[in-house]
Structure 1
């Protein structure tokens, strides 16, 4: 039975269980879906703010990858630019919904981005995202991409 429900917003207890399993590396790999990434990221933004959420997500994703048998290399596993992009996007959403509680904000983030898992491709060329540099360090999207997205 999945930790996070698919048909309704998660409760605080379900989120606590999900985050505990994710952070301990005991969450089944197949449950760390796009919605799982969004839930963790949204919760960390809600609890810690953008900068600390980035640090915490970075640590937890790397540790989780290794716990489920993955590796964090120049070609697989943790990707800094994509992770930071998503935390920054979630922080921007949080800024527009400052009164939502943690569970409500996580549910809103999942609902908003459930079908937009590749939205970061609107801001980056494939070659940039595929680079070792982008996997290792944050690469700011080109200004023209950001401006185009806001039109």
Structure 2
């Protein structure tokens, strides 16, 4: 089952119910989840929804320790900036076609030194970039 085999609602429901196969929930699945949450909510509420879903999903798969706060927020910042650039895109595949750079799972290496991103502080809480700033998102207007 790929993330594209399910409708957006089915995919989100499967992640919420922790029934989506863990071996299929890779980088693209994380992006799709972020896209769905950030489209539905203002940035802070969308980020909190992502956090909750990823933590619950990881816990259900026996991998609660894998959650990484800085990576989660940094990716959400990238996603929100892309959403702000192309607000009218209504499908995830079209969104990725407009922003193929998001498919590069190594993109955070442009913003963080390896030792910073791998630090316990970055895993447990938000650590701002120490190389290049993250893309700017529009201020909340909702």
TM-score range, shorter chain: 0.7 to 0.9
Q: Name the TM-score, length of structure 1 as normaliser.
A: 0.80
Superposition deviation, residue 122 in structure 1: 0.7
Of residues 97, 122, 132, the one that matches 1:145 is 132
CA contact (8 A) 1:39 1:110 kept: no
Task: Report the 3-state secondary structure (helix = DSSP H, G, I; strand = E; otherwise coil) of the residue aligned with 1:145.
Answer: coil
Q: Does 1:57 align with 2:50?
A: yes
Q: Give the structure 1 partner of residue 79 of structure 2.
A: 90
Task: Report the 3-state secondary structure (helix = DSSP H, G, I; strand = E; otherwise coil) of the residue aligned with 1:146.
Answer: coil
Let me know the Cα RMSD of the aligned residues.
2.0
Unaligned stretches of 5+ residues in structure 2: 137-142
Of residues 133, 136, 144, the one that matches 2:121 is 133
Unaligned stretches of 5+ residues in structure 1: none
Larger relative contact order, structure 1 or 2 (CA cutoff 8 Å, min sep 6): 1
Distance, in Å, in 2 between the alignment partners of 1:130 and 1:48 is 29
CA contact (8 A) 1:3 1:17 kept: no
Distance, in Å, in 2 between the alignment partners of 1:22 and 1:124 is 29
Distance, in Å, in 2 between the alignment partners of 1:70 and 1:60 is 13
CA contact (8 A) 2:3 2:28 kept: no
Distance, in Å, in 2 between the alignment partners of 1:58 and 1:118 is 20
